[in-house]
Structure 1
Amino acid sequence: MAELCRERGVLVIHDEVLTGLWRTGTPLASDHWDGAEPDLCILSKGLGAGYTGAGAVLVSPEIAPLIRHQDADPLPPMGTMATHPLQAAMCLGVLDELEAIGASTLHSRGERLGRRLRTLTDQPTVRAIRGLGFLYGVELAPGLLWPLMTEAESRGVFFYPFTGAGEPRSEGLVIAPPLTSTDTDIDFMVTALVDAVTALAESH
């Protein structure tokens, strides 16, 4: 897709609001594929770590000079919700924390999460496990999403549900623990999920 865009002079723009900043095990999800680097990349969500709303646009070195060109319209210095010092401090704090955790630790914990989640594919109630790093989807057999949510919550864990299109309609859980999760945190979360899935299978 990136090659087709560049052949035609079209900017490659990635929405990494959910997948950016190590959520999939690399700084950007596009880093998993050679040649997929965007011209513009939108970040949010994890950039403010839930403490404050924040968003950013990364601009490639090739595009940045065009924005700063003397004949171009100047960028507005600020707006109602832009360039707030609290937002800037929070974003810098998040980046500092990610750097302190380190790439190898983030990678190994993401791998640990994936290995443990994939054991669920042995359960008849689980249709598929998909994901990378700290972002996975657990697709369930139809009609089991809300009973599983109840089972998981009774074990002290809340997961984000998803429902999609298609026939039969897809449904399941988004597994996206904080990047600051320890191995113990990950084990607790996955154990609760495995126990919930097992209990659901036994009751159906």
Structure 2
Amino acid sequence: MCRERDVLVIHDEVLTGLWRTGTPLASHHWEGAEPDLVILSKGLGAGYTSVAAVLVSPELAPLLRHEDADPLPAMGTMAANPLQAAACLGVLDELESLDAVAFASRGERLGAALAELPGLGPVKAVRGLGLLDGVEVAPGVLWPLMEEAERHGAFFYPFTGVGRPRSEGLVVAPPLTSTDGDITFVIAALRDAVAAVR
């Protein structure tokens, strides 16, 4: 639809980008979903430094570079310092060296285990790809579930939505460097937490 109307396609891949869903960008899962601009952050610095980036398509880049203008600048407060650049290059090297088969296997195992949760106590639905899943729970249960999960040694990122009733749940996103044992631990901690708040 955007292509038909000559509208730029911008993907926010702050959370989903850099192999989180099993591919370099989440948009790679769908044919014909190529963006003009991609926003990256979080995984790009892997917690070592605060950083964000905007990827620009080769077709669009010349439009941003006028003959009389300076080359595309690194814009923003304290942007593009050597520490950020070194951290990003190290992160990208590490991501490229990941064992793709083992990584995919861990994501599939996590997704399959979480898919068994709907209908257990407060869990309404589970959706996700790779090592990024959302677990929707019944209204009013999110914070007790988070507290119970912490008692079992795991912390999950909460989300709350809009509408009536308002959706709420937690994000299950273990580190990309997680081992098989780490995935087993996360699954067990969440199952035990769900069982405790029935």
Q: Give, in angstroms, the shift of residue 106 of structure 1.
A: 2.2
For structure 1, the residue ranges without an aligned partner over 5 or more in a row are: none
Whether 2:186 is the aligned partner of 1:184: answer no
Alignment of 1:146-185 (within 5 A): 146-185=143-182
Q: Give, in angstroms, the shift of residue 79 of structure 1.
A: 5.2
Task: Give the helix-richer structure, 1 or 2.
Answer: 1
- After superposition, the C-alpha distances for 1:127-162 in whole angstroms (9 at most, x for unaligned) are 000111111111111211111112111111111111
Aligned to 1:89: 86
Opposite residue 90 of structure 1, the aligned amino acid is: A
Opposite residue 122 of structure 2, the aligned amino acid is: T
Opposite residue 150 of structure 1, the aligned amino acid is: E
**TM-score calculated relative to the size of structure 1:** 0.90
Q: Give, in angstroms, the shift of residue 72 of structure 1.
A: 4.6
Runs ≥4 in structure 1, deviation > 6 angstroms? Answer: none
Residue in structure 1 matching 2:5, options 2, 5, 8: 8
Whether 2:94 is the aligned partner of 1:110: answer no
- After superposition, the C-alpha distances for 1:52-75 in whole angstroms (9 at most, x for unaligned) are 101111111212233344255543
User: Is the Cα contact below 8 Å between 2:42 and 2:51 reproduced in 1?
Assistant: yes
| Aligned residue pairs, count | 198
Task: Note closer, same or farther for the CA distance 1:8–1:185 as it changes in structure 2 (3 Å cut).
Answer: same
Whether 2:28 is the aligned partner of 1:31: answer yes
User: Is the Cα contact below 8 Å between 2:121 and 2:194 reproduced in 1?
Assistant: no
Alignment of 1:63-74 (within 5 A): 63-72=60-69, 74=71
User: Is the Cα contact below 8 Å between 1:126 and 1:138 reproduced in 2?
Assistant: yes
Alpha-carbon RMSD across the aligned residues, in angstroms, is 1.6
Identical positions, percent: 73
Q: Give, in angstroms, the shift of residue 77 of structure 1.
A: 5.4
Opposite residue 164 of structure 2, the aligned amino acid is: E
Opposite residue 100 of structure 1, the aligned amino acid is: S
Could you say what secondary structure the match of 1:18 adopts?
A: coil
- After superposition, the C-alpha distances for 1:35-56 in whole angstroms (9 at most, x for unaligned) are 1110111100110001110111
Aligned to 1:143: 140
User: Which deviates the most, 171-180 or 74-83?
Assistant: 74-83
Whether 2:16 is the aligned partner of 1:19: answer yes
Distance in 2 between the 1:141 and 1:92 partners? 42
Q: Give, in angstroms, the shift of residue 19 of structure 1.
A: 0.8
Aligned to 2:117: 120
**TM-score calculated relative to the size of structure 2:** 0.93
Q: Give, in angstroms, the shift of residue 200 of structure 1.
A: 1.5
Residue in structure 2 matching 1:54, options 47, 51, 54: 51
Q: Give, in angstroms, the shift of residue 114 of structure 1.
A: 0.3
